[in-house]
């Protein structure tokens, strides 16, 4: 029996959330350090800068591109809201950096290589299905899984407050992906495309997470 489009989209989201839950989180490294009484400042700053980068480029630029590629007025409204949410997330992380006395120019920041590669791959696409599968379903779904309150603890209280706020916005970003998959992934060929985008983004995100963790492990204690 052919899987209906709603079940297909739901299965893709479930995969992404499971992937996100399984990600070794940067917080573990910080948490280990925080048991000694001090959060590793250098690692925390790196984490905040990387998250700023993610909110700015993947968060703002990708949906800004996606909004050109879909032709449904309800999606225009929802994607515009996503852009506004992500711009606010970027601002929250930026303010935390300021509180910690760190000036920051996101355009000069070098994120983990896998994040940049994922961004460039998706941003180059002219296919709404590719961007929605990569961003809204895979990346946003992984974020929902990663920040699951049952499994994620942020050791820095200032950052924890930010995560608490942004966590509430993410499920609606995933729902945009669900709608686009339901409407656009209408043939077997298109569904295979969605699956291969997901596989690629998961691979790149896994590489980036490994890079992040090893960078934090070698950060000198302060």
Binding stretches for Fe ion (CB under 5 A) = 55, 59, 86, 89, 140, 170, 173
**Taking the mean position of all CA atoms in its chain, how far away is CA 46?**
16
Structural contact between residues 92 and 37, judged by C-beta atoms closer than 8 angstroms:
no
| Nearest CB to Fe ion, comparing residues 33 and 180 | 180
Nearer to Fe ion, 173 or 191 (CB): 173
Determine the number of helices (DSSP H) and then strands (DSSP E) in the chain. 10, 0
Q: How far is the CB of 36 from Fe ion (least distance, A)?
A: 30
Is the alpha carbon torsion for 14, 138, 46, 80 positive or negative?
A: negative
Cβ proximity to Fe ion: between 31 and 81 the closer is 81
Q: How far is the CB of 85 from Fe ion (least distance, A)?
A: 6
Burial 131-170 (b: 16+ CB within 10 A, else e): bbbbbbbbbbbbbbbbbeeeebebbbeebeebbeebbebb
Least separation, in Å, of the C-beta of 119 and Fe ion? 14
Contacts of residue 38, Cβ cutoff 8 Å, sequence gap at least 6: 221, 222
Q: Which is nearer to Fe ion, 33 or 177 (CB)?
A: 177
Query: Residue 222 CB, nearest distance to Fe ion (Å)?
Result: 28
Closest CB to Fe ion among residues 147, 191? 147
Cβ(205)–Cβ(109) below 8 Å: no
Q: How far is the CB of 2 from Fe ion (least distance, A)?
A: 31
């Amino acid at each position: 029996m052919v899987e209906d489009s709603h079940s297909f989209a739901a299965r893709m989201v479930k995969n992404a959330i499971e992937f996100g839950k399984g990600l070794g989180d940067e917080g573990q490294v910080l948490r280990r350090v925080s048991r000694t009484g001090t959060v590793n400042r250098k690692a925390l700053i790196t984490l905040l800068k990387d998250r700023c980068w993610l909110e700015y480029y993947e968060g703002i630029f990708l949906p800004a591109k996606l909004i050109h590629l879909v032709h449904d007025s309800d999606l225009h409204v929802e994607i515009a809201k996503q852009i506004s949410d992500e711009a606010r997330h970027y601002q929250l992380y930026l303010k935390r950096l300021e509180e910690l006395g760190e000036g920051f120019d996101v355009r000069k920041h070098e994120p983990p290589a896998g994040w940049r590669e994922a961004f460039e791959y998706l941003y180059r696409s002219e296919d709404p299905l590719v961007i929605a599968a990569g961003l809204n379903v895979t990346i946003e779904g992984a974020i929902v899984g990663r920040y699951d309150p049952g499994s994620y603890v942020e050791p820095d209280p200032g950052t924890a407050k930010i995560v608490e706020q942004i966590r509430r916005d993410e499920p609606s970003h995933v729902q945009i992906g669900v709608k686009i998959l339901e409407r656009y992934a209408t043939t077997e060929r298109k569904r295979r495309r969605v699956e291969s985008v997901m596989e690629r983004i998961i691979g790149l995100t896994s590489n980036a997470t490994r890079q992040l963790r090893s960078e934090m492990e070698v950060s000198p204690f302060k």
